[in-house]
Chain A
């Protein structure tokens, strides 16, 4: 009897220890109450406009194949848990791809339609609608050797000093997280809310847009959309945020 209770106590102690040690915080936690309220309320969160667009597009036939996402995948709620795994290695592409690239892969190979252009609102909407199906689920990058390589490359990029400002992503997002920078609070750079509605953009944007923004801010040449470097960074960020809960569509300043 006492053994089980000791075991239980130890288990709880261990749990609270790991929780206490987990100093990771979503960007959400650094925001003012008004912005948090906007994210929490689906009747006000402007990101939901893009989600609605995505949900409607999911059921629309398109391309030379005249097929909708529904035709092959069924109801969008069958996508539960999918976004939590991305970026991941794709057998079809034979490389690590993010969720947007997977959507475009289905566009071209399955629907036989043209790829969505970068940051197209309907494309972001599809991504947001699929990601919302995993809301509340922990980020769970699969264990795949080629994904592990991408995560490692991403980590190297994250630690590398860039731009005229000569700062690494880690300098800001580990050492200076929580501090103010020109009126903004530096978050820890977790990708849990993407695609996000950003007040500064006055629109929804992808994680790659956010990463490119950080590069421009330190006066470094941003990697092009869809580049291996950006996907590697995304893969590393997902690993770094493993276990944290998805909250898309997030709202950020």
Chain B
């Protein structure tokens, strides 16, 4: 059994690992906090499958929509979790998935809008998981 405690982190305390990853994804666009809601199940039995959901405030019209969402983690050997490409056909800027979460760390979800601006939410997850000695 693992518990995951999730709390939002402000840009000021965002990990030095995440900030450059977010910048690179933004490719020069301005990155602000807000508009992005990053939900992670607070209590899980096993870090091998943790439900997450990212929703972004956007009308999802041709004129104004989210073109992409990226998720980065701070401490896994590889910082990229996933990059999603969205289109106005979606009607709603939302994606849900299941991820692996073995360590307490920060995670960030960044949404890129069609005007190049970016919005993000950073969360801190505290994970307590027992090690397993089984086959």
Contacts and interface: CB of A to CB of B under 8 A. Distances in A.
A and B touch in the complex (CB under 8 A): yes
Interface of A: 31-35, 37-38, 180, 182-185, 199-200, 202, 209, 212-213, 216-217, 253
A87 to B, nearest CB: 22
Most buried by B among A37, A202, A253: A253
Given A183-B128, A183-B129, A184-B1, A217 B134 contact: yes
Contacts of B46: 35, 199-200, 253
Interface in B96-135: 128-135
A224 to B, nearest CB: 13
Nearest to B129: A183
Which 9 pairs, one residue from A and one from B, show the smallest C-beta to C-beta distance?
A183-B130, A253-B45, A199-B46, A182-B130, A34-B41, A213-B134, A253-B46, A35-B45, A199-B48
B43 A32 contact: yes
Given A34-B41, A34-B43, A213-B135, A202 B48 contact: yes
A218 to B, nearest CB: 10
B67 interface: no
B49 A185 contact: no
B51 A34 contact: yes
B44 interface: yes
Given A32-B44, A183-B1, 5 more contacts: A35-B44, A200-B48, A216-B133, A216-B135, A253-B45
A196 to B, nearest CB: 13
B127 to A, nearest CB: 11
Nearest to B1: A183
Interface of B: 1-2, 41, 43-46, 48-51, 128-135
B44 A200 contact: no
A28 to B, nearest CB: 11
Nearest to A31: B45
Contacts of B49: 38, 199, 202
Contact of B130 (A184, A202, A216): A184
B44 A216 contact: no
Contacts of B45: 31-32, 34-35, 199, 253
A203 to B, nearest CB: 11
A212 B135 CA distance: 8
B6 to A, nearest CB: 13
B47 to A, nearest CB: 9
A37 B53 CA distance: 15
B66 to A, nearest CB: 24
A34 B44 contact: yes
B1 A185 contact: yes
Most buried by A among B48, B51, B135: B135
Nearest to B134: A213
Nearest to A37: B51
Contacts of A212: 135
A38 to B, nearest CB: 7
Contacts of B132: 200
Nearest to B41: A34
Nearest to A222: B135
B1 A32 contact: yes
Contacts of A185: 1
